[in-house]
Amino acid sequence: MPITFAHPAAVLPFMGGPCVPAALVAGALAPDVPYFLRALRIPVSAQSWWEPFLNATTTHNWPGALIITIPLAFFLYAFIVACARPALWVLPESGSTPQTPQRAVAIRGVWVVISLLIGILTHVIWDSLTHSDGWVVMQVTALRAEAMGTLTWARLLQHVSSAVGLGALVAVGWVRRNSWLPSAENVRRVRFFRVLAALSATAILGAITVGAARYDSLAPMDYHLTSIALGAGLGALVATVTLSTMWWAIRPDRATQQSRDIDAQEPATR
C-alpha cells in the first residue's frame, strides 16, 4: 500500500475552499486505521462486532468504505480537532482560535461530512490503482505486468506515488513555513523544539519496537518497511495523545494569557 501519511497529499487541491482541512485529512487517513489497530494486537475474531473496524479490506472496498470508514473518519476528525488547540499553543502564532458563528455551525457540519467523504474517496481511488487486489489493478492487466524484476507496474506506482505524495506535503510545508516555524521569541522556540523532540523520539521508539516485534527473516522488504511505518505512527500517536491530554488538563494557554494581561496593565498603573 502507499505510505499512509502520504495520502493527505491527495486532498491538497481541496484545501482553501469550503472544505474543512481537518476533515479532509481525517478522511484521507481513515481507511488505513485498521492497520494501526491491528498492530496494537487487539483481540478479535470473525464474530466480534468490532472486527470490520480492524479489517483493512473492508475499509478499502464498497460498501465498507462508507459504512465502516466514515465512523473511523469521524473519530480521527474529532481527535484532530481535540489536538488543534494544543498544537496552536506549540506553534509560533498560538492564541485564541477563531470561533465559528452559531448560524454557520450547521453549514460547517455539512462541509465536514463532505470533506470526510472526499478524503475517503481519494484514498480508495489511490489504493485501487496500487494495491495488488485493487479494483483498477484487477481490471487493467498492464498494471499486473512485471515492470522491474518481480516488481509489477502497480507496485512500482505504489512506491513512486508514495514518494511524490510525501514530497508534495514537504513542499507545501516548506512554502508555508512562516506559519509554523518557531518565531524569534525564545520561549516559543524552546517549547516548539521540545515537543518536536518528544514526537520524534516516540516515533523512533515505536518504529524500533514494532519492527522488532514483527520481524520475520523470510519476509520481504515491504513487510519490514510497513512495520517500521506502523510503529512510527503509533509512537507519534501515543505522544500526541499524552501531550494533548496533559495540555487540556493543565491549560497552560490560560496562564500565558493571564501573564500577558498583567503585562498590559502594568503601564496603566504606573
Taking the C-alpha atoms of residue 142 and residue 149, their distance in angstroms, rounded to an integer, is: 15
- pLDDT band of residue 95 (cuts 50, 70, 90) is very low
Res 119: pLDDT: 97
The model's pTM is: 0.79
pLDDT above 90: percentage of residues in the chain: 40
- pLDDT band of residue 102 (cuts 50, 70, 90) is low
Residue 32, amino acid: D
Bridge partners for 152 per DSSP: 146
- Residue 165: how many CB atoms within 10 A of its CB? 21
Close Cβ partners of 206 (under 8 Å, ≥ 6 residues apart): 231, 232, 233, 234, 235, 236, 238
As a whole number, the mean pLDDT across the chain is 84
Phi then psi dihedrals of residue 152, to 5 deg: -80, 165
Query: Which residue, chain included where needed, has cell 460498501?
Result: 63
Close Cβ partners of 66 (under 8 Å, ≥ 6 residues apart): 120
Cell triple for 146: 512485471
pLDDT digits (tens, 9 = 90+) for 1-56: 568 889 999 999 999 889 999 999 999 999 999 988 887 788 888 889 999 999 99
pLDDT above 70: percentage of residues in the chain: 86
Close Cβ partners of 149 (under 8 Å, ≥ 6 residues apart): none
pLDDT digits (tens, 9 = 90+) for 120-130: 999 999 999 99
**DSSP structure string for 243-254:** HHHHHHHH-HHH
pLDDT digits (tens, 9 = 90+) for 132-150: 888 999 999 999 998 887 7
| C-alpha torsion sign, points 118, 120, 125, 129 | positive
- pLDDT band of residue 63 (cuts 50, 70, 90) is confident
Taking the C-alpha atoms of residue 101 and residue 251, their distance in angstroms, rounded to an integer, is: 24
Cell triple for 103: 448560524
Res 62: pLDDT: 87
Taking the C-alpha atoms of residue 258 and residue 251, their distance in angstroms, rounded to an integer, is: 12
| Nearest residue to 115 via CA among 32, 29, 23, 25 | 23
- pLDDT band of residue 80 (cuts 50, 70, 90) is very high
pLDDT digits (tens, 9 = 90+) for 212-266: 988 888 887 777 888 888 888 889 888 988 988 888 888 887 765 555 545 455 5
| Three-state secondary-structure class, residue 132 | coil
Question: What's the average model confidence in pLDDT over 149-178?
Answer: 88
Query: Which residue, chain included where needed, has cell 480537532?
Result: 81
pLDDT beyond 80 at 168: yes
Bridge partners for 146 per DSSP: 152
